[in-house]
Amino acid sequence: MRAPRYPSKDAKSWWNSVDDEYALDQHHYKLLEMACSTWDRCTSARKVIDQFGPTYVDRYGQPKSRPEVAIERDSRIAFARLVRELDLDFQGSPDRPPALLSNRRV
């Protein structure tokens, strides 16, 4: 199945590698789409944090955490959970670890 149009180039590349490596059902593609969106959201937030730092000073002169810090954290957690739901963890030899048998393309 083709990757949706909106994910970043990196997310589309990951989509294609997962699609090539695994036998996915329709509902897996929805999870994969959410994982790509979540990854893009995480990297977007990271760019803002890298540019402006993790905090800002409010109108009272108090340091506050940037909203992007929570967005990045939540996106990382969501991405990890989606990958776990897709059962994309690897185990095996360091040169080419095989995918788990639950959805490995035969």
Rounded to 5°, angle at Cα 75 from 17 and 68 = 130
Strand partners, 56: 64
| Per-residue pLDDT tens digits of the chain, which is 106 residues long | 777 778 899 999 999 989 888 888 888 999 999 999 999 999 999 999 999 999 999 999 999 999 999 999 999 999 999 998 888 765 544 554 445 455 555 4
Tokens of 55: 């905090």
pLDDT of 56: 96
Domain ranges of the chain: 25-106
pLDDT at 93: 47
